[in-house]
Amino acid sequence: MAEEAALELEDSVKPKSKKKLIIFGVGGVVLLIVIAITAWMLLGSDEAAESTSAVEGAATEQAARTGEAYYAAMPRPFLFNLSDNGRTRLVEIKVQLMVRGNDDDTLIRKHIPLIEDALLTTFSGADIQKLSSPAGKDELRQLALRNVQNTLQPVTGRTVVEKVLFTGFVMQ
């Protein structure tokens, strides 16, 4: 009799478990489909907005590049130490930034501390062997330009600096 009661309990439990499994499985599939459709809708609209803003940004940047060139000198030279096979070398770099138009010149002067931070971070990570060659200096100049542009882009909303120029370079 106890065996019959146990069999009846097992039989009654199994169908409910299968029903729950089927319900959760179907619910999970529906949830995944909803998430996929939502993601597709959101990402699809962002791509269209990004392409439109990229075209507008390029037109604005091109208009800014046609203005008169202004050169903004950093107020202080950059002094930093670099290690060279256990020997410390002192490097001093004087920098000027080329911008287009009086508005960009004013904007650069407003953000000098931010620019100095980006340049010092770039310069202090340089390799002493690369700085010994003209190609290495040019590579550092291009890296400095990209870092300054990437630093200013979120703040100003556009590319302001056109060139980073080394007006003095001393390595001891």
**Could you tell me which residues come within 8 angstroms of residue 17 by beta carbon, excluding any fewer than 6 positions away?**
none
What's the number of domains the chain is made of?
2
Residue with more model confidence, 42 or 155: 155
49 and 103 belong to one structural domain: no
User: Is the model's pTM score more than 0.75?
Assistant: no
Strands (E), 10-138: 69-73, 78-84, 87-100
84 with 39, same domain: the answer is no
Percentage of the chain lying above the pLDDT 70 cut? 76
pLDDT of residue 128: 86
**Co-location of 23 and 82 in the same domain:** no
One domain, residues 89 and 162: yes
- Structural domain boundaries, residue 23: 1-66
